[in-house]
C-alpha cells in the first residue's frame, strides 16, 4: 500500500509578512512560542563620514562629550587641547600644544575615545594593540604616549597634514592620473608592510590617507591612519591564514569603498584592502562612484548590488588602462591569496614621472620607475593565465544539488501549472513516491518525487499567498512538519508537510530580506534550516529542532558563491537547502551528525531545467536533493564537481 497523501484545500487569510511562526514541541503542552519579527539591517550602528559614506561604529560616546582642557598621559608632557581635527567611528582627534619647552614636537594629535564606548568594554581601545604592532612602521604614524585621563583613553600621535579627501576637495574634486598613480604605488607599499605584520586595515578610503604637515620635509609623504577596524588575517600562534567564514549581518568599513566581501559579511583578508583601494583610486580620479546617492536602511544592499553589477570596463571608463587592470586583478583574488604587490605596483610605471617630480613620495616602492621588464598582472609566476573568480556575467539559472545515494526511484516534473499539480502528485503516490523537493520558475512549478524520503504521510497546499499561515498551523496540530516549500514570482506558494520526519519543533519566517539575524538566533536555540524558498524578492525560511545536523552555515551572494561552497566542502559541509531571488542566491551548508557512507555532492547551473543532466547523474547514483531558480552567473566552473551549462 503506497503512503497516503492528502491535498489541503482550505484557503485562509494571507500570512503576515515578516512573521515568524512555530508549532509546539512534540509531546509537550501545545503552547505556541512568541517570536518577535526581526528585520535584517546590514549597516547597523553606523556613522556618516565626510564622504557621505557609512562606517561601522564601535563607539557609544556621550551625545555632548566634554573633553579636558589639558592632557598628560603615560609620562607625556602637558598638552593643551585646542581645535578639533576630525571625528570618526572610534573617537575624536584634537590638536595638542605642548605647554613647556622640551624635547619632542610642539604640536601633536590627541585622539580621545570614551571609556564607555564598546571598543573599551575590557579596557583600553583595541586600536592601541594594533598601534603597538604597527606604529612607526612605513606609512603608519607613531604613537608617542597613551593612557587614560578621566573618562577618556588618549593617544598622543604625530601631527599630520591634510587627508586625500581634503586635497581632492580643494582641487576641484579631481586629481590627475599621475597624482592618483603615485598614491596607488605608495598605498600599496604601506598596505604590503601592514599585511606583512599580519593585519588588514579594514577601512581604506581617502579620509584615512593623510599627507605630512605642509612646509615640512614630510609634506609629500603618505600615511595611513585610523586602525580601529584593523583585524588579523594571520593567526598569531599558528602563523596560518585565519579561517574563512560568512556572517551576512556583520558589516565593517565604509559603504562607499568597502569590498563586496565586506558587504556580504565575509571574514576580512588582504584582498579586501586592495579592493577598497581600487575604489578609492577611481573615486579620486573620476570624482564619483556609480553607487553614490543611495539612502535608507537598504543602502548597503543596493550599493553592493551596484558594485557587483558594474563591470571594470564601465567603472574605469575615462581612466588610464592600469586602473582597470588593477581593479580586475584585486576583485579576482581568492580569500587567502597572497597579493603580488610588485606586479600591482608595476602597473602604474608608465604614468608616474621621475622620483624628484612626483607629487607624492613613493619611497616605499624602491623599484618603481627603475628600468625593468614589464610584469603582467594577469599571469602567475608560472605564466599561466590567472582565473577571474568574481567577474562572471549575471544570469538567471537553475541551481541543482545532487547527493550520492543507494539506487532508488526518483521522478521529476517541471513547468507544471497550478491546475496540474494534483495530477502529477497523485500519480507519484500511486507509484510509491513522495515529494522530496519543490521549486518554481516563471510562475510554474517543479516537483521532485522519490522513494527515499522516509516519510509516512504527506499533505500539500497551493496558496496565492506566501506562506499560508492558518493551513500550516492546522497541519502542525496534526503532527505534520514542513519538508519543502516553493514560491513563485506572482507571490503564490506551494508547501509540502510530512509525517515520519525526525523533527520535534519547527519555526518559519517570511522576510523582505534574507533573515540571517533570525537564523542565527534560532541556531542558538537548537534549530537548523531545513527548507527555504523565495517569492519575488521575499524570503521564506523554515527551521527545525532535531534536524540531524551538528553545525550549519550560510553562503549568500549576488552571484553564485563558488569559492565559499568549495571552502565549506573542504571542511565537511554539504549543501542542504538553497533558494534564490533575481538579486541573490543563498545556500545552506550543514554537517550531518551521522555521516553518509558516500559524501559525494555535485552542483549544476543550467539555463533550462536540467532534465537531461539529471538522467546522467542517476547513472552515477547521484540524485536531486534540492534545487532553485534565480540569480547566478555565467562563468567557467571552478572544478568538475561544480558545473555550469
Q: How, if at all, do strands 152-157 and 143-149 pair?
A: antiparallel
**Beta bridge pairs of residue 590:** 552, 574
d(C-alpha 542, C-alpha 532), whole Å: 6
42, 243 contact by CB (below 8 A): no
CB 222 within 8 A of CB 204: no
- Which residues lie closer than 8 Å to 24 by C-beta, 6 or more apart? 30, 31, 32, 476, 505
Which residue reads 599561466 in cell numbers? 384
Give residues with Cβ within 8 angstroms of 172, minimum separation 6. Answer: none
The set of cell numbers assigned to 533 is 524558498
- For residue 197, say whether it is annotated as part of any ligand binding site: no
In the block, cell 598613480 appears at 181
Q: Is 203 a catalytic residue?
A: yes
Cα angle 577, 580, 581; round to 5:
155
Give the torsion through C-alpha atoms of 128, 133, 139, 143, to 10 deg: 40
Q: How far, in Å, CA of 426 to CA of 536, rounded?
A: 28
* b/e per residue 353-378 (b: at least 16 CB within 10 A): eeeeebbbbbebbeebbeeeeeeebe
DSSP assignments along 314-357, one per residue? HHTTTS-HHHHHHHHHHHT--TTPPP-HHHHHHTTTTTS--GGG
Q: Is the dihedral of CA 299, 305, 307, 310 positive or negative?
A: negative
Q: Please tell me which residue in 49, 158, 203, 226 is annotated as part of the active site.
A: 203
What are the residues whose beta carbons fall under 8 Å from the beta carbon of 156, sequence distance 6 or more? 71, 73, 74, 76, 79, 96, 108, 109, 110, 143, 144, 145, 146
Number of Cβ atoms within 10 Å of the Cβ of 294: 15
User: How many other C-beta atoms are found inside a 10 Å radius of the C-beta of residue 44?
Assistant: 14
The radius of gyration of the chain from alpha carbons, rounded to an integer in Å, stands at: 28
Nearest 5°: phi and psi at 325? Answer: -60, -40
Please give the grid coordinates belonging to residue 46.
553606523
* C-alpha 490, offset from chain centre: 29
List beta partners, residue 587.
Answer: 555, 578
Per the CB < 8 A criterion, the answer to whether 555 and 564 are in contact is yes
Residue 31: phi and psi, rounded to 5, are -115, 125
Block residue for cell numbers 559525494: 600
- Catalytic residues, by residue number, are 203
**Which residue positions form the known binding site for ATP?**
111
Amino acid at each position: 500500500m503506497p503512503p497516503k497523501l492528502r491535498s489541503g484545500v482550505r484557503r485562509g487569510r494571507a500570512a503576515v509578512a515578516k512573521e515568524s511562526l512555530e508549532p509546539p514541541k512534540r509531546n509537550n503542552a501545545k503552547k505556541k512560542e512568541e517570536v518577535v519579527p526581526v528585520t535584517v539591517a546590514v549597516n547597523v550602528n553606523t556613522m556618516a563620514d565626510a564622504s557621505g559614506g557609512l562606517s561601522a561604529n564601535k563607539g557609544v560616546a556621550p551625545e555632548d562629550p566634554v573633553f579636558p582642557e589639558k592632557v598628560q598621559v603615560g609620562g607625556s608632557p602637558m598638552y593643551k587641547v585646542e581645535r578639533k581635527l576630525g571625528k570618526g567611528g572610534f573617537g575624536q582627534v584634537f590638536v595638542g600644544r605642548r605647554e613647556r619647552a622640551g624635547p619632542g614636537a610642539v604640536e601633536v594629535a590627541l585622539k580621545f575615545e570614551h571609556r564607555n564606548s564598546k571598543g573599551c568594554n575590557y579596557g583600553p581601545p583595541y586600536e592601541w594593540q594594533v598601534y603597538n604592532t604597527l606604529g612607526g612602521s612605513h606609512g603608519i604614524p607613531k604613537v608617542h604616549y597613551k593612557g587614560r585621563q578621566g573618562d577618556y583613553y588618549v593617544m598622543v600621535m604625530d601631527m599630520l597634514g591634510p587627508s586625500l579627501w581634503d586635497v581632492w576637495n580643494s582641487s576641484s574634486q579631481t586629481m590627475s592620473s599621475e597624482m592618483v598613480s603615485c598614491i596607488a604605488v605608495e598605498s600599496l607599499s604601506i598596505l604590503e608592510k601592514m599585511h606583512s605584520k599580519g593585519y588588514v586595515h579594514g577601512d581604506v578610503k581617502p579620509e584615512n590617507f593623510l599627507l605630512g604637515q605642509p612646509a615640512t620635509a614630510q609634506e609629500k609623504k603618505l600615511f595611513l591612519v585610523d586602525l580601529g577596524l584593523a583585524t588579523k588575517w594571520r593567526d598569531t600562534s599558528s602563523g596560518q591564514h585565519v579561517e574563512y567564514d560568512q556572517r551576512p549581518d556583520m558589516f565593517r568599513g565604509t559603504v562607499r569603498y568597502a569590498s563586496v566581501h565586506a558587504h556580504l559579511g565575509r571574514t576580512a583578508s588582504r584582498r579586501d584592502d586592495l579592493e577598497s583601494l581600487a575604489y578609492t583610486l577611481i573615486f579620486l580620479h573620476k570624482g564619483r562612484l556609480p553607487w553614490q546617492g543611495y539612502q535608507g536602511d537598504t543602502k548597503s544592499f543596493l550599493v553592493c548590488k551596484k558594485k557587483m553589477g558594474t563591470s571594470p570596463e564601465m567603472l574605469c571608463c575615462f581612466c588610464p588602462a592600469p586602473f582597470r587592470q588593477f581593479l580586475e586583478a584585486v576583485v579576482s583574488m581568492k580569500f587567502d591569496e597572497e597579493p603580488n604587490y610588485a606586479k600591482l605596483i608595476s602597473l602604474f610605471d608608465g604614468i608616474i614621472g621621475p622620483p624628484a617630480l612626483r607629487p607624492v613620495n613613493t619611497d616605499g616602492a624602491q623599484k618603481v620607475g627603475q628600468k625593468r621588464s614589464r610584469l603582467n598582472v594577469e599571469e602567475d609566476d608560472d605564466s599561466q593565465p590567472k582565473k577571474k573568480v568574481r567577474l562572471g556575467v549575471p544570469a538567471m539559472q537553475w541551481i541543482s544539488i545532487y547527493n550520492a545515494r543507494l539506487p532508488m526511484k526518483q521522478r521529476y516534473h517541471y513547468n507544471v501549472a497550478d491546475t496540474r499539480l494534483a495530477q502529477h502528485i497523485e500519480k507519484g503516490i500511486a507509484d510509491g513516491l513522495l515529494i522530496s523537493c519543490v521549486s518554481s520558475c516563471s510562475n510554474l512549478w517543479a516537483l521532485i518525487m522519490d522513494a527515499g524520503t522516509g516519510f509516512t504521510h504527506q499533505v500539500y497546499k497551493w496558496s496565492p499567498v506566501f506562506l499560508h499561515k492558518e493551513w500550516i498551523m492546522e497541519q502542525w496540530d496534526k503532527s505534520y512538519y514542513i519538508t519543502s516549500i516553493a514560491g513563485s514570482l506572482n507571490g503564490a506558494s506551494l508547501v509540502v508537510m510530512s509525517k515520519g520526519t525526525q523533527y520535534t519543533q519547527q519555526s518559519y519566517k517570511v522576510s523582505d530580506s534574507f533573515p540571517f539575524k533570525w537564523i542565527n538566533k534560532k541556531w542558538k536555540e537548537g534549530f537548523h534550516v531545513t527548507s527555504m524558498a523565495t517569492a519575488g524578492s521575499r524570503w521564506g525560511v523554515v527551521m527545525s529542532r532535531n534536524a540531524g545536523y551538528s553545525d550549519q552555515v550560510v553562503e549568500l551572494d549576488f552571484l553564485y558563491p563558488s569559492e565559499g561552497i568549495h571552502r565549506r566542502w573542504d571542511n565537511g559541509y554539504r549543501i542542504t537547502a538553497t533558494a534564490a531571488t533575481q538579486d541573490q542566491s543563498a545556500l545552506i551548508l550543514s554537517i550531518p551528525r551521522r555521516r553518509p557512507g558516500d559524501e559525494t555532492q555535485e552542483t549544476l547551473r543550467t539555463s533550462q531545467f536540467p532534465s537531461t543532466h539529471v538522467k546522467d547523474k542517476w547513472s552515477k547514483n547521484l540524485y536531486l536533493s534540492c534545487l532553485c531558480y534565480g540569480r547566478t552567473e555565467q562563468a567557467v566552473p571552478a572544478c568538475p564537481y561544480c558545473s555550469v551549462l
